[in-house]
Structure 1
């Protein structure tokens, strides 16, 4: 399980803009806390020492020294193979290292996805799912298999759902606009041209379209009604693909669980 302090950092609410900036900085560079005074951390984040101390107290610690100590103790519990960005040991085929690193990768993907969730948007989309008579999910390559899994679960509930392996432009251009058809378009970068074209056609037909992507400012998002943010896929890290898949499955499973409540 992830440490309590890290959980508080990720899901802290009612923070000021400065405090949120400090939290994001610490989450991206947790080691900096161990080697910096409150004054030095304030300089690095362009804030003040008093803001740092106030944040530490909001997170349930007595002050910055207490925050440093607790974060250091909890950080030690993270599997050592995962404390470097390239995950070198895990990528060298060390199956014993994977015993610890794989669950940690999954947990990180789930935690990051949860942190990025916009609850009102998720609820709105869940209601659209309940109101729809058909769900289309578009994805290419590995995203197509994620689309298949999502659709298989909805079909088990009696909700008509179809996965599309890249868009069929003839189908898209000739389909009749239907407000009861809900479409999801998956692209980790949000710049997959075929997915963007699918979203454009659907949007032009005044149909509800949801982007599932790691980039909220992507071209795909601009052509969709709503965006569900998934774990950001980094092509430079092979294990990032696994985390991105877990993130997308998590998103669709939340919507699936929302469908169950009224179906069963």
Structure 2
């Protein structure tokens, strides 16, 4: 028995308020994938407590658990019923992110490319989810004959950061752009003009003058697009632009 069958089975167990939730979700199951409990309550014209009671009738502790199973159900249904439509849907989600790359500050991007070309010593730091795109940039620059220093954890980065001079280039990848963990190991609050932050957060807590904000942070919460893949695409874009200027 799948989730929708379970919901139908409990049809007569719902109160008048919960029945509003039932009617809406039966007709719009995909809305659950991207909507918060507050948004679902608004769409169903009930309170959030009404949503919670609906979920508990179905045997869930709360909306989060119900939503998790609904997302799983929706993905399984798409795969089983029409895999071609699912493939096209996911391609569209990636394309919607890629199209937003046009919003990147191209002046700062070109400025970064020039500094990569003209700076003798380059440092690249990326930790956790940011380590993959950072390493991708390191390998790409090596293929172009440009050597770099690279750190992929905070302890290693703290030692590396102490060796950086003002005229060196530092490229710091941080998907969230937070400073909590960073401040424990090294201080970016006084970063030089040769420091660049690559982030997906349009309002990063790290205050760095040269910040390149990538698209997709909001969309990634509503789709299958992985945050790391967005930054890797940016790195590919950066490397190809750099390669063309080196010809």
TM-score calculated relative to the size of structure 1 = 0.55
- Equivalent of residue 219 in structure 1, options 205, 208, 224: 205
Rounded Cα–Cα distance in structure 2 between residues aligned with 1:100 and 1:140: 33
Task: Report the counterpart of residue 177 of structure 1 in structure 2.
Answer: 165
The structural deviation recorded for 1:196 is 5.5
Q: Kindly name which structure, 1 or 2, has the bigger radius of gyration based on alpha carbons.
A: 2
Check 1:161–1:199 CA distance in 2 against 1; reply closer, same or farther (3 A cut): same
Partner SS, residue 34 of structure 2: coil
Check 1:234–1:162 CA distance in 2 against 1; reply closer, same or farther (3 A cut): farther
* Aligned: 1:228 with 2:215: no
CA RMSD of aligned residues (A): 3.3
- Equivalent of residue 85 in structure 1, options 11, 31, 34: 34
Task: Report the counterpart of residue 250 of structure 1 in structure 2.
Answer: 233
- Flag structure 2 segments of 5+ consecutive residues without an equivalent: 1-29, 36-69
Rounded Cα–Cα distance in structure 2 between residues aligned with 1:91 and 1:195: 38
Partner SS, residue 203 of structure 2: coil
The structural deviation recorded for 1:235 is 10
1:109-142, CA deviations, whole angstroms, 9 ceiling, x for partnerless residues? 111232x212222111111111122332222222
Rounded Cα–Cα distance in structure 2 between residues aligned with 1:159 and 1:91: 46
Task: Report the counterpart of residue 8 of structure 2 in structure 1.
Answer: none
Contact 1:150 1:252 in 2 (8 A): yes
- Flag structure 1 segments of 5+ consecutive residues without an equivalent: 1-80
Check 1:230–1:262 CA distance in 2 against 1; reply closer, same or farther (3 A cut): closer
Task: Report the counterpart of residue 165 of structure 1 in structure 2.
Answer: 152
* Aligned: 1:139 with 2:126: yes
Task: Report the counterpart of residue 143 of structure 2 in structure 1.
Answer: 156
Rounded Cα–Cα distance in structure 1 between residues aligned with 2:34 and 2:165: 46
Rounded Cα–Cα distance in structure 1 between residues aligned with 2:192 and 2:147: 20
* Aligned: 1:208 with 2:226: no
* Aligned: 1:105 with 2:88: no
The structural deviation recorded for 1:148 is 1.1
The structural deviation recorded for 1:192 is 4.8
Rounded Cα–Cα distance in structure 2 between residues aligned with 1:156 and 1:169: 23
Check 1:208–1:196 CA distance in 2 against 1; reply closer, same or farther (3 A cut): farther
Check 1:173–1:133 CA distance in 2 against 1; reply closer, same or farther (3 A cut): closer
Rounded Cα–Cα distance in structure 2 between residues aligned with 1:205 and 1:188: 18
1:151-194, CA deviations, whole angstroms, 9 ceiling, x for partnerless residues? 11111011113432133354145314151x32222222211523
The structural deviation recorded for 1:205 is 6.3
Rounded Cα–Cα distance in structure 1 between residues aligned with 2:242 and 2:115: 10
TM-score calculated relative to the size of structure 2 = 0.59
Contact 1:208 1:225 in 2 (8 A): no
Rounded Cα–Cα distance in structure 1 between residues aligned with 2:220 and 2:241: 35
